[in-house]
Amino acid sequence: MPGVQSDIIEDASEPKSYGYAQFVIKLLVAFSIVLIGTVTFVIWVSINQLTEQASAGQRASISVHLTAEEHRLRDTIATALALEAPISTRPAQADTQVTPLMLSRYVNEIQKFSYAFTLSPKDELILSTQDGAVLEPRLGAPLLVYARPLIEQLRGKAREGTPVRRQDPDNLQPALSSQGYVRINGRPYLVTAALIPTPLSADVQQGREQATFVAFKQIDASYFQSLSLSSAAEIALAASCRNTAPDLNCLEKKSISGSPVFAVTWPKGVTNVALVERTIFLMAVVIVILASLFAIFFVRTQQIQRRFRINRDRVAFLAFHDALTTLPNRALAFDRLGQMIATLRRQQKWVAVHALDLDLFKTVNDTYGHAAGDELLQAVAQRLLSLCRSTDTVCRLGGDEFLVIQVVEEPAQAARLADRLVAEMARPFMLNFGSVKIGCSIGTVTSDDVKAVPDDLVLQADAALYKAKADGGNSVTFFSEDLDNAITLRKAHENALRAAISGSAITIAYQGMFDATGRCVALEALARWRAPDGSAISPNEFMRLAEESHQAIDLGRLILEKIAEDTQNLSEVRICINLSATQLHSIDFQNLLVEFIRDRFSPQCSFELEITEAALMADAAKTRATIDKLRKAGYTISLDDFGTGYSSLTHVREFDFDRIKIDNYFISSVLEDRLARFMVAAIAQICHSIGVEAVAEGVETEEVRALLAGLNINLFQGYLFGQGVAGSDIGSFFEEGSLATKAR
């Protein structure tokens, strides 16, 4: 009795395991205390350093923005004065104060300065304004006292050199200016003083005094909001940093004399005190938890023994159920199906088998990860259970394949359930990582034959499912005899392709890519395959067959081996290799491509990977990382068949292609179809503007080639230059009088 013997062995080993477990848990508890304490200290130190670094970065950012704004305001005034200098300094004319007033209002209303003053060369107040309105001299004169040090500093600079003059109306020189901060009645102001440049006609001597323009701008909350600072809402003003709270950062601005004018304060984010308190609290919680666990260990030692016993009920459950979704598995599904068929002997009913496959599950799995895929499968299982009766059986066969088995009164009842399943599975799933919308395909078979075999019914449901997916998915297909024949033929093609790959029966034809002079600049490797009956199968068809039958990687490996064999004696040539979506996103095939370019070819050869937009529709970040990996390995990247499918300019912008190949759908009708011609011209212009080469595919006549050349397309490919040739004839592309020259 194996089961009883197993129990005896288990019970005999438990006391030793129990003592060993005690020692291990004590050791783990001690180690955990030391480890958590160390980690807590490191976290505390790291957060403290990060807080200081963040404060320094914020301080630097605010300082840079303040300095940039100071320079902007100063340069704006200096430039404006340079523009208006010939008018503002004309003596004894009726419009003497017109231009100063215009400048003052410009400074007040546009640049938001509170006050603006114009002084004569003898420091006489010519004009004063406040917020765009003229201010009486007696009211404005007291404010100039605060700007006097700045004016004197400015005039000192002027005495050391030649005054700025407007030499040429088209070559302006900004006025000499200076800036500083002052505090007036408890409010900080930014003061900008500038000398008004003398006109060309004035008799200016070295050191002669010039007219002065002075402007005051109040520093308040609106000033910082205009700086586009991310922390503008948290900034506050203070008189100085002397009494700043410890939880605030502070940046102080001073006057020319060095006394504080104002200070900018903003929160530190997380204070050191808060960090210490949080760390102490965390350590206390950890110690309490560890102490509790240690106490529980001694109180409940008997429970540890049970952890070593096998849960027989759980093992039995997992033997017939899926561990992820808890649905019945394949073994239980076939058992239930057999029981349902047996009931047909006593009831005049039908048994229905629905094979269900999720349409976009792989995209979700690749985009969001396996954890998200598992969560989606669990949600699908719950939705299926909610849609079926308690007498129905919902099973998970594996991957994203499910099976629904039921006994129905008539086949129409099964059809109604299948339609309801498709409709409900198309509704979005609200998951932890977001909302996703997938859909499903269903193959259904019904039978009232009491001698039906469960395996045969499931195979027929699978055949109908295969047809539903081939028709585009998100639909229901009922099994029929014709469908059985089509599936048999499909399986035969899959087996034939598998044999062709294993037997190296796939051949490679090379089609040249030519420039405007007729010189071959690249070769595109095109896979060719003939079915066992001798009929040629189009590359699109057998590539799709390879993708759906999981043979794309083996096919790609064979193509690379053929290319290596055919081009081993070539040099200074670019070989273009087509990649499918499966090959592009396969880590193994990516590594194979890297190894291929590294080990098998000389540096004189270059290689280009042609990718269609369909292969780019997965996770953009992962796709970009894959393309970067292949580009670093030495490949150039081209976008194939552009103009059909998605035709997304986003892909052109995001993935930085070296070449864009315009699909022959447009090229073939470019002579007759004006719209096609305009679209080709637009694509060519986009390529030219962003520095990407445009390649025209499907060029079959000289007239088309000439027209495309006029549209700024300089690379051509198509039957005009000859059909694909075998690897042994590649040299003909590079000989004098080659296919291109003959075609021309």
Given the candidates 3.30.110.30, 3.30.300.30, 3.30.70.270, 3.40.50.720, the CATH classification of the domain at 313-479 is: 3.30.70.270
Please say if 400 is a catalytic residue: yes
> Which segment of 211-220, 497-506, 563-572 scores lowest on mean pLDDT?
563-572
Rounded-to-integer distance, Cα 73 and Cα 111, Å: 8
pLDDT tens digits, 426-437: 999 998 888 888
Q: What is the pLDDT of residue 276?
A: 53
Round the average pLDDT of the chain to a whole number and report it.
Answer: 79
Q: What is the mean pLDDT of residues 164-182?
A: 65
Q: What is the pLDDT of residue 207?
A: 42
Rounded-to-integer distance, Cα 128 and Cα 140, Å: 6
- Report residue 50: phi and psi, to 5°: -65, -35
Residue of 196 and 703 predicted with greater confidence = 703
By residue count, the chain amounts to 744
Most confident of 456-470, 527-541, 593-607: 456-470
Q: What is the pLDDT of residue 299?
A: 62
Q: Residue 146 is encoded by which pair of tokens?
A: 């605060």
Rounded-to-integer distance, Cα 451 and Cα 362, Å: 37
> Which segment of 168-182, 314-328, 673-687 scores lowest on mean pLDDT?
168-182
Q: What is the mean pLDDT of residues 189-194?
A: 87
Q: Which of 705, 633, 695 is nearest to 659 (CA)?
A: 695
- Report residue 390: phi and psi, to 5°: -65, -25
Catalytic residue among 357, 392, 400, 566: 400
Residue of 708 and 142 predicted with greater confidence = 708
Q: Residue 496 is encoded by which pair of tokens?
A: 């034939």
Residue 476 pLDDT class (50, 70, 90 cuts): very high
Q: What is the pLDDT of residue 403?
A: 95
Whether pLDDT at 532 is above 80: no
Q: Which of 672, 584, 695 is nearest to 630 (CA)?
A: 584
Whether pLDDT at 400 is above 50: yes
Q: What is the mean pLDDT of residues 328-340?
A: 91
Rounded-to-integer distance, Cα 744 and Cα 733, Å: 14
Whether pLDDT at 275 is above 50: yes
Whether pLDDT at 602 is above 70: no
Q: What is the pLDDT of residue 310?
A: 56
Q: What is the mean pLDDT of residues 225-237?
A: 68
Mention every residue, 6+ apart, whose C-beta is less than 8 A from residue 741: 518
Q: What is the pLDDT of residue 64?
A: 79
Q: What is the pLDDT of residue 87?
A: 41
Q: What is the pLDDT of residue 326?
A: 92
Residue of 243 and 305 predicted with greater confidence = 243
Q: What is the mean pLDDT of residues 404-421?
A: 94
- Report residue 236: phi and psi, to 5°: -135, 160
Q: What is the pLDDT of residue 47?
A: 66
Q: Partners of 25 in the beta sheet?
A: none
Residue 97 pLDDT class (50, 70, 90 cuts): very low
Whether pLDDT at 742 is above 80: no
Mention every residue, 6+ apart, whose C-beta is less than 8 A from residue 225: 232
Q: What is the mean pLDDT of residues 626-644?
A: 87
pLDDT tens digits, 36-58: 667 667 666 766 666 776 677 77
Strand, helix or coil for residue 476: strand
pTM: 0.46
Fold of 494-743: TIM Barrel (3.20.20)
Most confident of 164-178, 253-267, 468-482: 468-482
Residue 171 pLDDT class (50, 70, 90 cuts): low
pLDDT tens digits, 512-523: 999 988 888 999
> Which segment of 300-314, 334-348, 561-575 scores lowest on mean pLDDT?
300-314
DSSP-assigned states of every residue in 155-211: HHHHHHSPPPB--BTTB--PPPEEEEEEEETTEEEEEEEEEPPBPTTS---TT----
Q: What is the mean pLDDT of residues 358-378?
A: 84
Q: What is the pLDDT of residue 475?
A: 92
